[in-house]
Amino acid sequence: GQNIDQPTEMTATEGAIVQINCTYQTSGFNGLFWYQQHAGEAPTFLSYNVLDGLEEKGRFSSFLSRSKGYSYLLLKELQMKDSASYLCAVTDSNYQLIWGAGTKLIIKP
Amino acid sequence: DAEITQSPRHKITETGRQVTLACHQTWNHNNMFWYRQDLGHGLRLIHYSYGVQDTNKGEVSDGYSVSRSNTEDLPLTLESAASSQTSVYFCASSEVMWRSFGPGTRLTVT
């Protein structure tokens, strides 16, 4: 079957760095997405990786290793507004998105 | 600005009633999707459409139907609402792969 695993919840301190991991087992691979979702709101697109390596976008970076079925989202200089759920999703061989259950990130002052 | 809107934003209905959730997008995207989101689960695909008159079942399509008569709209109908369908429903659209989501509809079936 197809499976996406992420930690359920993480806690970090304002100003610090946090890494949210995602491992996947899917039938085929056509890219990996990270979305941010604040409580009660819609998911919003953060990043897309299709090739191995690190993609940097401001305070957020996303890494992919296709051979290991692994990705992480790195958030630097954490701000209180980064408190949200972070969703990992993989596009399979049929170009369907398979979603992880999300990681709830709690930022403490 | 282009956007996706959903209505209603909140709905309470009784078991057995038919309910229709509206989704309207002004992105002019061909691809539209309906998901449900429940605690402990990832977003689960209900139905999707790749263009006018095209509809396809997702992984949790039982008890739901959609129709696509134009590019902008993909209404989701619950034929006979059940308590198991209490959830938050998101509509999304895309042209290539990344999805743009609507604000969601919180549906409670009592």
Three-state SS sequence of chain B: CCCEEEECCEEEECCCCCEEEEEEECCCCCEEEEEEECCCCCCEEEEEEEECCEEEECCCCCCEEECCCCCCECCEEECCCCHHHCEEEEEEEECCCCCEECCCEEEEEC
Residues of B in contact with A31 (CB under 8 A): 97
Listing from the earlier edge strand, what are the strands of the sheet with B4-7? B4-7, B19-25, B76-78, B64-66
Residues of B in contact with A26 (CB under 8 A): none
Q: Is residue B96 over pLDDT 80?
A: no
Give pLDDT, residue B98.
79
Partner A, chain B 39-98, Cβ-Cβ below 8 Å: 40-45, 90, 97-98
- The minimal CB distance from A101 to the residues B41, B45, B99 is found for B41
Tens digit of each residue's pLDDT (9 = 90 or more) over A40-88 = 999 999 999 999 999 999 999 999 999 999 999 999 999 999 999 999 9
Sequence-distant (6+) residues with CB within 8 A of A27 are A2, A92, A93, A94
Give pLDDT, residue A53.
97
Distance CA B95, CA B91 (A): 14
Give pLDDT, residue B107.
98
Q: Is residue A1 over pLDDT 80?
A: no
Give pLDDT, residue B63.
97
